[in-house]
Structure 1
Amino acid sequence: MTATWKQRLIEVEVGAVAHGGHCVARHEGRVVFVRHALPGERVVVRITEDTGGSFCRGDAVEVLEPSPDRVEPPCPFAGPGLCGGCDWQHASWQYQRELKAAVVSEQLHRLARLDWEVIVEDLPGGPEDWRTRMRMAVGPGGRAGFRAHRSHDVVPVDRCVIAAPGALDGVVDRTWPPKSELVVTRDAGGQVHLTEIGPPVVRRGRPVPGPSRLREGSGTATELAAGRAWNLRADGFWQVHPAAADTFAQVVRDWADCQPGESAWDLYGGVGLFAAVLAEQVGETGSVRVVESSARAVEDGRLNLSDKPQVSWYAGRTEAVLESPDFTDRPPDVVVLDPPRKGAGKVVVTAIARSRPARVVYVACDPAALARDIAAFAQHGYELAQLRAFDAFPMTHHVECVALLRPAR
């Protein structure tokens, strides 16, 4: 086993970008995953993690030969050892999208054996002032901030360049109970909702979050997308970029292309954003079945889509619901799914493919999970027909993709 390199300084030439907000370098026969660097640069890296195996992790602490695409980070809390939220502030916005496109292409090639040209499209508003939902941690001194990369350490902040304007007013300029957490939401109407979650308590030998209380706002956020107003719990799931929900709903509308009277499934459906689009297309003679594991989201969804009797709700894990005869008695013409970061997985993919929909519209927040699931669909006779990628998380390594799959010809 190689002796640990932790805290060692090494000089490397940076190679290709990799999934996760870092680039790949090599030194003395080992792989080094380098943050705060760009492809083609020569940098000095401080090793931050090393378990003695074939790879280690580090931060670029000095740039000897910079990339022409390097810029000065606009946030003073972005950099080695600081806030772990933004991976690419040191890259121009255009180059950030090029890096993300390269990652999506590489994942499709490596995991799905597809050579696919990817263009990451920007959303309106620019790379700053977009994040409408944030979870913050409180450090020992009582100040709110964000955790460092791969760490529980809290980096206190007095501002955030990607936060929506006004979202952190009254949050970063006061003290809070140490070890508590804060959930901040600024909705489409500009209302800020702030929930404080108390420090963890030990129950049955395990730490669990303490009690929560609403500190500001009504606790019910109002959002606008797909031609509708949505009322949902402020700490519930909704896209964090103000233009994302409407953009993805439009792509689902175009690619689902349901006809009146048809049947559609909306898996991992949240509060029903895509179900609303599908319901408009299938009409009152069709059916839309929504599966969502969060009972609170199902409750909000039922209220928001109470005017759509063709929408029915199933609360539970997608894997379990898809095994229910009561759910699968009517095969779908179209399936839309928006799984969590880990992806749908083989069990869900197999169940979808078994129902033989004419089209599958897959909304993905992780390119590796998407590529794995595309490969699983291919084993059941489905092929990737179209793909769009969006920079719904500027300054970070995250990228949102929407894929259309069809039975292979």
Structure 2
Amino acid sequence: MPQATEPTRNPDLELTVSAPAHGGHFIARHEGRVVFVRHALPGERVRARVTEGTPDAGFWRADTVEVLEASPHRVQHPWRPADALLAAQTGQPPVGGAEFGHIALDEQRSLKAAIFEEQLRRLAGVERRVSVEPADANDDGGLGWRTRAAFAVDSSGRLAMNAHRSDQLIPVDVMPLAVPAINELRLWELDLGPVSRVEVAAPANGSAPLVLLVPAPGASPRRLGAIAERIPSPASVAVWDPEQQQLTRLRGRTWVAESCGGHEYRVTGEGFWQIHRAAPQVLTQAVLAGVKPQPGQRVADLYAGAGLFTAPLAAAVGNSGTVLSVEGSPGTSRDARKNLHGMPQVEIVQGKVERVLHRHHGGLDAVVLDPPRAGAGRKVVEQLHNKGPGVVGYVACDPASFARDLGYFLELGWQLQDLRVFDLYPNTHHMESFALLVRA
């Protein structure tokens, strides 16, 4: 992570905050210079500490350390280590990962809608009103939704998390955004000395969690085994070596059992799965309702992961149709082969989407794509256009990359028929969307 640069001799500024900006920031100005402020709200007057930016920089970044005039939408943060005002009193930065926790939940969604609208307008030239839907009726104040959580380990062996855009580690003893099954492991009570990072997955269906230990250099198998013995059952424990892409079982399984819409999935190690407990069901319903796959159609599921969308698409097109399922990660693609076993209408291909589409012969009737945060890009959009589908369902986790890609589709004559935005990351600035694009 980047280190903060030396800002100025007087790093504290009094600022009046204006509009929200993509990325969890709010815009303020100081002597004509834009300052991107975190942990603030539009209309507030705050004292902010500059964290990045030299005197000749075009913009600065800053953290709110004191609120001089508060917004009526400001609430008490539900997680002390992530509360910027409390952290400032102790002289340390807040933990990242809950940067909207000081904002009332309804206002969070209003701000996210404004951010999405601005990205559409600026990057795609589209004027469209957006509303952000909660993931489910029981949102619990935006807490207890993460079925995946990642932690660092500090020099004393304690569970920790990073401050935003910093290598600084801050110990934590609870993660209120996580589902109870993650907190019930009480990993903060363990001495994690030989570990550099911990990844936890706890499926929403209540099946056994999986704890991945990423070893520090020189960690001995004996010490890693001792940590595994102290992690409560029925959690499985494995060692993950990201450099070697090697997964070693210590106890239980090296995968978790997920389920959605009557389909069962196994997700191995660090394999991708939607984080919010309700996200798989919410997004699958949106995809099927939008794309409306029909028996006999030729469909592609791109960036398909472990097959979350592939399985219901295959059921919809039946044995008379086909589904091309493309995933870049070798491990996740192997999961897809297991999850989709017994569906002969599915062709599973592991590789980069643009390369697979280049080799793929024949046309398509419909496409579903769920790219990573960077988006699909112009080349993939053009390749899809040339495959002749009448409809594309685009699942996106970043409004900027989606708006950019939407612009590419519009240039080729496509139309944005429907757009839904979901609050699948409450108390953070992130959001998920589903767009239905149709050929003009």
- The TM-score with structure 1 as length reference comes to 0.94
Alpha-carbon distance between aligned partners in 1 of 2:314 and 2:243, rounded to the nearest angstrom? 39
Letter in 1 for 2:382: T
Counterpart of 2:69, as a letter, is E
1:45 aligns with 2:62: no
Please give the alpha-carbon distance, in whole angstroms, between the structure 1 residues aligned to 2:107 and 2:146: 20
Distance in 1 between residues matched to 2:247 and 2:10, nearest whole Å: 39
Is contact 1:45-1:61 (8 Å) kept? yes
Pairwise mapping of residues 94-105 of structure 1 onto structure 2 (< 5 A)? 94-105=106-117
Q: 1:75 aligns with which of 57, 75, 79?
A: 79
Cα deviation code 1:193-247 (max 9, x no counterpart) = 111011258xxxxx95897655555222111112212122142110111110111
1:158 is matched with: 173
Return the alpha-carbon distance in structure 2 between the equivalents of residues 276 and 257 of structure 1.
14
Q: Deviations over 1:256-282 (max 9, x none)?
A: 112211100110011111111211221
Secondary structure of residue in 2 paired with 1:73: coil
What is the aligned partner in structure 2 of residue 176 from structure 1?
Answer: 192
Compute the displacement of 1:5 (Å).
Answer: 2.5
Note if 1:117 corresponds to 2:129.
Answer: yes
Q: Name the amino acid aligned to 1:77.
A: P
Alignment of 1:145-294 (within 5 A): 145-168=160-183, 169-177=185-193, 180-187=196-203, 188-200=205-217, 208=243, 213-214=248-249, 217-294=252-329
State which of 154, 170, 194 in structure 2 corresponds to 1:139: 154
Deviates more, 1:68-77 or 1:375-384: 375-384
Given the two structures, how large is their TM-score scaled by the length of structure 2? 0.87
Kept in 1: contact 2:247–2:269 (CA 8 A): no
Q: Distance in 1 between matches of 2:421 and 2:46?
A: 30
- Aligned partner letter, 2:161: F
Can you list the C-alpha shifts for 1:328-387, whole angstroms capped at 9, x where unaligned? Answer: x22110010000000001111110111121000000000000000000111111121110
| Equivalent position amino acid for 1:154 in 2 | L
Q: Which residue of 2 aligns with 1:342?
A: 374
Query: Cα gap change, 1:217/1:60 in structure 2, threshold over 3 Å: closer, same or farther?
Result: farther
Give distance in 2, aligned partners of 1:212 and 1:49.
38
What is the aligned length? Answer: 398
Once residues 154 and 323 of structure 1 are traced to their aligned partners in structure 2, the CA distance between those partners, rounded to angstroms, is 44
Measured in 2, the distance between the counterparts of 1:112 and 1:185 equals 36
Identity over aligned residues, as a percent?
Answer: 43
Q: Mind listing any 5+ residue stretches in structure 1 that lack a counterpart?
A: 202-206
Structure 1 311/217 Cα, relative in aligned 2: closer, same or farther at 3 Å? same
Give the counterpart letter for 2:32 in structure 1: G
Report the secondary structure of 2:392's partner residue. Answer: strand
Residue 35 of structure 1 aligns with which residue? 38
CA RMSD of aligned residues (A): 1.8
Q: Which residue of 2 aligns with 1:204?
A: none
Shift of 1:178: 5.8
